[in-house]
Amino acid sequence: EVQLVQSGAEVKKPGESLNISCKGSGYTFANYWIGWVRQMPGKGLEWMGIIYPGDSDARYSPSFEGQVSISTDNSISTAYVQWSSLKASDTAIYFCVRDGGNSGIAYWGQGTLVTVSS
Amino acid sequence: DIQMTQSPSSLSASVGDRVTITCRASQTISTSLNWYQQRPGKAPKLLIFAASSLQSGVPSRFSGSGSGTDFTLTISSLQPEDFATYYCQQSYTTLMYTFGQGTKLEIK
């Protein structure tokens, strides 16, 4: 069974750094693109970017380019999104997904709530 | 960027009603359109892919249609568990997707 299990909720202050993670299981992690989706409080879904674990090819949505960094550690089948300096506007739920292309996104992590507040 | 616009933004309906939600793309996307259901506090769930293909395990009361720029999601007979928010998503631009703003379906 394909599963994506994300790290737990985080509470951070503005300016702090953060990594959140997404561990894949039930499939060959290196063979599928992993994407990240943001959902701000009470708002819709926003595509952040995507990475291919096989060669670490990462692509970013223009709104997120330079704001976050996406990476993987294939030895532990885990993808990450990283912030070097958080802002209050980064407060959101972040979902990792396994890309399905034109077959849609069938696999989602459970979401990680990030709260940034002074 | 391809913009996706859903209508209506919210909708009130009763159990047993037939409901249609519309999604319009800012440029042609062929049939590269997927629909999701999100219940409060949960991750989205894939309902329909490639505009009209029903995802495995999804009840047949859900159906999708359309191509080019205009798409619809129809729920033929609303059930209590269908009250949720629905999103469309274009997968035409490889690896760089966009979602509609969502349609909240509420109980009348």
B8 cis-preceded (ω within 30 degrees of 0): yes
Burial of A22 (0-12, 13-18, 19+ CB in 10 A): buried
Reported as a single tens digit per residue, the pLDDT across A70-82 is: 999 999 999 999 9
pLDDT of residue A33: 98
pLDDT in tens, A61-71: 999 999 999 99
In this complex, which of A59, A100, A109 lies closest to B96 when CB atoms are compared?
A59
Burial of A55 (0-12, 13-18, 19+ CB in 10 A): exposed
Best of B30, B38, B46 to disrupt the A interface (most A CBs within 10 Å) is: B46
Give the pLDDT confidence score for residue A72 in this predicted structure.
98
The whole-number average pLDDT for the span A46-61 is 97
On whether the CB atoms of residues A108 and B44 are closer than 8 A, the answer is yes
> pLDDT by residue (tens digit) across B17-60?
999 999 999 999 999 999 999 999 999 999 999 999 999 999 99
A39-45 own/partner pairs: CB under 8 Å, 24+ apart: A39/A92, A39/A93, A39/A94, A39/A95, A39/A111, A40/A91, A40/A92, A41/A91, A41/A92, A44/B87, A44/B99, A44/B100, A44/B101, A44/B102, A45/A95, A45/B36, A45/B38, A45/B44, A45/B87, A45/B89, A45/B99, A45/B102
pLDDT value for A1: 97
Q: What is the pLDDT of residues B89-105, one digit of tens each?
A: 999 998 999 999 999 99
Say yes or no: B54 contacts chain A, CB-CB below 8 A. no
**Distance (Å, whole) CA B1 – CA B108:** 36
Q: From the CB of residue A65, how many other CB atoms can be counted at a distance below 10 Å?
A: 11
A100 neighbourhood in chain B, CB within 8 Å: 46, 49
Asked if the C-beta of B33 comes within 8 angstroms of chain A's C-beta atoms, the answer is no
pLDDT at A78: 98
Confidence category of residue B108, pLDDT binned at 50, 70, 90? confident
- Helix (H) / strand (E) element for A4: namely strand A3-6
Task: Say what the pLDDT of residue A118 is.
Answer: 96
Residue A27: is its pLDDT beyond 90? Answer: yes
In 3-state terms, what secondary structure has residue A16?
A: coil
Which distant-in-sequence residues (6+ apart) come within 8 Å of A43 by Cβ? none
Among A11, A14, A63, smallest CA distance to A37 is for A63
Mean pLDDT of A84-112: 97
User: What amino acid occupies position B27?
Assistant: Q
φ/ψ (deg, to 5) at A44: -90, -170
Question: Does residue B99 contact residue B4 with C-beta atoms inside 8 Å?
Answer: yes
Q: Residue B92: its pLDDT value, please?
A: 96
Q: Could you report the per-residue pLDDT of B49-92, keeping only the tens digit for each?
A: 999 999 999 999 999 999 999 999 999 999 999 999 999 999 99
Q: Does B13 touch chain A (CB under 8 A)?
A: no
